[in-house]
Structures are given as C-alpha cells and as structure tokens.
C-alpha cells in the first residue's frame, strides 16, 4: 500500500519546503522504506526551461529529458533516487493537456471547469505510477497557501485526503515563527493565520514544521497546538542549521519522521540508520583545509542559478575532506577586454558553468585564458566548454575570428547549432538561422572516451552517460586544427560527430565537458570529475 505525504508552505516563500521534503524522504528511506518525491508547481509556464535564472534559479534536468524545478535536485541528492518527467508538473502542463483533450473532443462536449477537470488532472499526476518498491510518495506543493494560482492544487490534495483516508494521506504544513528582537518574543500568530487559511479550504494539517532561529519554548508549542488543532508532539521545531546536510539528523532528533509514521499508525518501523549522514557532518564541520574555487558566471547575484554546481563542488570537497570556498565572480565585468582579472588572484581552481547568450561570454573566455596561462585547474561545463574551445582556437591554434554562431555570423564558427552542420568535416555553418525551436539536446546521452585520456582515468571507464541541456555544439570540423595545437578531444558521441569532452595536453588539469555532470553528483557519490577537480585544486593550494 502506497502512502502519500503532502507538504505545503505558509507565511512566506523560501522557507525550505524542498529541503524539508528531501530530508523527510531521506529519513523514511533510512528506515528501510522506498520513496519517490514529486513537485507540483502552480505557475503557468509549461516548465522552467524559458524562465530567467534570476527569477527561478537553475533548471534541473532529468535523465529522460525533463526541464524541472531545482527542488528535484535536492530530492536526488538527498535520497539518491533519480527523478523523472513524471515527478514535476506545472499549471501550464495541466492546462495544455486539458485543452488538447478538449480540442480532440475527449470530453464529449462537456463544459471544461477547474473542478472537476483541472483537479482530476492534478490527482491523476499525484497518483501516477511511482515505480517499483515505493512505499511513500512525498508531494511538495509550490508557493504558499493563499496564492490564487495554487488553489486548484490545494483543492486537488484536499480531495485526495478524503479519498485516500487518514491511513494513506498525511498533510505537513511548513510555517515561520519569527522572533521580534524589540519585543523579545517569538510570534506564533503568522503560523496561526497560515493554518487558518489552510483549514478554510478544507485541509487540516497533521504536522506543523515550524522554521525558527532559536528553540521553541514548550509554552509556545502548546499554544500553537491548541490554536491549530494538532497535538503538541506534532509541532516540530525546524531550527536553522549550519549546513543543509545537517537537516535529516536534526529533523529526526525533533521527531518529524516518528510523528509522520504515528499518523499513519505505523508503530513497528525500525530506527533510521543515519551513520552516513553523521560521517558527512563530521567531514563538513572538521575539514582538513580549505580550497578556493572561482565560479565565473553572469548570474552570480543569484546563487540558486548555480545550485547543482555549487553542491557538486561541495561533494568534491567531501571526497577530498576539504571545505570548498566558492568565490562568485560576475563574468560581465570582464567583457570589455581591459578590466584586470584581479578577483581571480589566489583561487585554487576556476569553474566556468553553463549559460546562454553573448552577455558575459567574453568575460568567461578571458577567465579560461587566465586559467590556461596561470596553469590553474579549470573546469568548463557546457557553455563553459564551448567558450574554452573558442579561447584555445584563438590563442593556441591561431584561428582568427574564432567565435560561436550564437554571437552572430562568423567566418570561423567553432560552435554552432546542431542542425547547421553540413556533411563530412566541412567547417562552414549557416549562421543566419535564428530559430531555436527543436534544437535543444536534453537528458542523458552516451559518450565514448579516449582510452589513454585523463577523463578515462578519472571515470575508470571509456563509456559514460551524462545529462545534457544545450542547443549549440562544438564544430567537429575544426578538430584536426585544434588537436595540432595541443587540444585533446577525449570524449566523443558514439557516431564521432559531436565533441563531448576536451582537455589541454600541456596543463595540470583543464577539462571541458559539453554535458552537466553536476546534475548527477550526490554527497555519498560525488561525481568523479568534481572529485578530481577539487583534488587538483587541493594540489594547487599546497594542502598536499
């Protein structure tokens, strides 16, 4: 029997519903249960693929090619369960599907309404097959209670609560308990009003997860329980912690997973095995040293835009027992070609993350040149790889005007749209085509590695599969010219037409990859490229 846990939020956004959902999933998993986590996003966009990183943060991509919410990255990193297309739904997807059904006549002339058609589609998504061995499905509802766009989702889970019954459905509500310094008091009224709003639409929360920056007095817990119609043990303190990987153990200590199981009337669950989380906490809080990594991108004012990259760097630190200090560097400040790169002085490694568009690109090219000349470990990801190849073409191969077709027409397009390549190894591409539809390469694709290459040694194999998200590719027609200049294309698509990985032969550690390895990195299984990159940075820092 599959049980369902619905996680909602109130008072303010950014309380950490995604982390809370992932942590609870981890605790249930540590007790021996199978879990799957899903995200219901009320916004009207079909997916976050076209949304600005400044508004939405990064786009997390699944193996099966879905562009999803960044919370799915938290789910994967905490539980190790790979997400799928069927784990993220938006209002845009729901309405698109309903309108397509209506146009086909599937509703036989019925008037299409929010209830029952929209709510039924949401319930269908929630109840869709979670896969083998799943005992609990955790569904996080985006936004906060009271948001107008979220009402159909709240109504859908209200109906599911009635249909499934208390033995199969539990509601957790995440709220805020602010502390007012001037009054010297922790205020419970925002939580009371949030629960009142939730109850007004027919949902009685079973568990309250209360975010706070200090312990909740027992008197306040009893007050919250009384006003919100829950038992005192169901008021769970969710205090701020030093690191997100401290959250599972902290929530267990506060009794979150125990309370959830009691609501499901499961009294014989084994105690969770949190030994691996304790080991990670030990490494995080007692590292052997610190390495500094310069992350050069154009969305550095919004760290969530590079959430998976930053987490993967931390995982590489765990593998090497060091703390990774990430220095966020705005690449646009170097676009003018003259501003000194002084901010990169003293870093032990440089990472060039993915992106789109010309803005900030020239700054990344300069950062790649800085890393190459200074022999600093450098890791180019997706767009970062493409721009590193452009830099190598200009500086090492002497290809004048080497550029990307993404910037406009060029005589030497080192990078272009996949649909632009002509037959054979000709170098010219059609740079006038601005249609970006249907050219995105999304999801997992295989690559073949050169047997004697650095990446083959890092991976320990010559066949890999990694997740992609891009529409431009490095032009294989320039391979011979670049390899003569010391560039090694150590990873290629199985048909040999698409460069996947490049290395610089005369450099301690300079690797560019067309895919996004950060999406598959987890604290217990750091991605080998990130582990190796941080190891190289550790050598650069003279910690070894």
3-class DSSP state of 326: strand
Q: Which contiguous run of DSSP H or E holds residue 537?
A: helix 528-540
Report the DSSP beta bridge partners of residue 326.
293
Contact yes or no for 57/168 (Cβ under 8 A): no
- The CA distances from residue 125 to 49, 120, 128, 160, in Å, are 20, 9, 5, 12
Of 473, 518, 527, 535, the active-site residue reads 518
How far from chain centre, in Å, is Cα 111? Answer: 39
Tokens of 217: 């007095």
Of 74, 362, 470, 516, the active-site residue reads 516
Q: Which contiguous run of DSSP H or E holds residue 21?
A: helix 17-30
Which residues, 6+ apart, have CB-to-CB distance to 510 below 8 Å? Answer: 371, 372, 377, 378, 388, 503, 504
Tokens of 341: 């790169």
3-class DSSP state of 332: helix
Tell me the DSSP string of 83-99: P-GGGEEEHHHHHHHHH
Distance between CA atoms of 446 and 492, rounded to whole angstroms? 9
Report the DSSP beta bridge partners of residue 388.
none
Q: Is 64 exposed, middle or buried (0-12, 13-18, 19+ CB in 10 A)?
A: middle
Which residues, 6+ apart, have CB-to-CB distance to 393 below 8 Å? Answer: 399, 402, 412, 414, 478, 481, 482
Tell me the DSSP string of 399-421: -TTEEEGGGS--SEEEEEEGGG-
Contacts 24+ apart (CB under 8 A), 409-417: 412/478, 413/475, 414/386, 414/389, 414/390, 414/474, 414/475, 414/478, 415/386, 415/389, 415/390, 415/472, 415/473, 415/474, 415/475, 416/472, 416/473, 416/475, 417/471, 417/472, 417/473
3-class DSSP state of 266: coil
* The 510-513 sheet, strands edge to edge: 323-330, 290-297, 349-352, 378-381, 510-513, 499-504, 487-492, 441-449, 463-470
Of 117, 382, 470, 527, the active-site residue reads 382
Respond yes or no on whether the N-terminal peptide bond of residue 146 is cis (omega within 30° of 0): no
To the query of whether residue 516 is one of the catalytic residues in this protein, the response is yes
Q: Which contiguous run of DSSP H or E holds residue 151?
A: helix 151-164
Q: Which residues are catalytic?
A: 382, 516, 518
């Amino acid at each position: 029997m599959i049980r369902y846990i619905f996680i909602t939020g109130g008072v303010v956004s950014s309380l950490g519903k995604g982390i809370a959902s992932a942590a609870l999933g981890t605790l249930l998993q540590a007790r021996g249960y199978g879990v799957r986590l899903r995200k219901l996003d009320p916004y009207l966009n079909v997916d976050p693929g076209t949304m600005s990183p400044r508004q939405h943060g990064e786009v997390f991509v699944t193996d099966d090619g879905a562009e999803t919410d960044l919370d799915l990255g938290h789910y994967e990193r905490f539980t190790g369960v790979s997400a799928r297309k069927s784990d993220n739904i938006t209002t845009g997807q729901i309405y698109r599907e309903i309108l397509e059904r209506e146009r086909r006549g599937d509703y036989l002339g019925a008037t299409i309404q929010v209830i029952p058609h929209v709510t039924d589609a949401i319930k269908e998504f929630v109840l869709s097959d979670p896969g083998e061995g799943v005992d609990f499905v955790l569904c996080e509802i985006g936004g906060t209670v009271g948001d107008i766009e979220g009402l159909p989702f709240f109504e859908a889970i209200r109906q599911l609560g009635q249909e499934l019954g208390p033995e199969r459905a539990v509601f957790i509500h995440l709220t805020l308990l602010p502390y007012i310094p001037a009054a010297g008091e922790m205020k419970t009224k925002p939580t009371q009003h949030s629960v009142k709003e939730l109850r007004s639409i027919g949902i009685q929360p079973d568990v309250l997860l209360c975010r706070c920056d200090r312990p909740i007095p027992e008197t306040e817990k009893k007050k919250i329980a009384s006003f919100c119609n829950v038992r005192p043990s169901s008021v769970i303190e969710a205090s701020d912690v030093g690191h997100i990987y401290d959250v599972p153990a902290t929530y267990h200590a506060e009794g979150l997973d125990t309370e959830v199981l009691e609501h499901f009337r499961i009294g014989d669950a084994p105690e969770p095995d949190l030994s691996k989380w304790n080991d990670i906490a030990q490494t995080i809080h007692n590292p052997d040293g610190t390495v500094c990594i310069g992350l050069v991108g154009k969305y550095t004012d919004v760290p969530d835009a590079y959430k998976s990259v930053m987490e993967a760097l931390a995982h590489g630190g765990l593998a090497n027992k060091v703390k990774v200090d990430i220095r966020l560097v705005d690449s646009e400040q170097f676009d003018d070609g003259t501003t000194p790169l002084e901010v990169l002085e003293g870093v032990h490694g440089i990472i060039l993350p993915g992106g789109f568009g010309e803005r900030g690109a020239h700054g990344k090219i300069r950062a790649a040149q800085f890393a190459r000349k200074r022999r600093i470990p450098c890791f180019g990801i997706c767009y970062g790889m493409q721009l590193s190849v452009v830099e190598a073409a200009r500086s090492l191969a002497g290809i004048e005007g080497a550029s990307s077709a993404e910037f406009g027409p060029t005589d030497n397009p080192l990078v272009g749209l996949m649909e632009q390549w002509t037959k054979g190894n000709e170098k010219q591409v059609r740079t006038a085509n601005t249609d970006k539809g249907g050219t995105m390469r999304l999801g997992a694709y295989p690559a073949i590695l050169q047997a004697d290459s650095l990446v083959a040694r890092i991976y320990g194999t010559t066949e890999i599969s990694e997740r992609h998200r891009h529409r431009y590719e490095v032009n294989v027609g320039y391979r011979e010219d670049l390899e003569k200049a010391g560039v090694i294309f150590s990873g290629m698509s199985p048909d040999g037409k698409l460069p996947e990985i490049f290395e610089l032969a005369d450099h301690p550690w300079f690797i560019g990859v067309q895919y996004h390895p950060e999406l598959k990195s987890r604290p217990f299984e750091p991605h080998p490229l990130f582990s190796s990159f941080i190891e190289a940075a550790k050598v650069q820092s003279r910690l070894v």
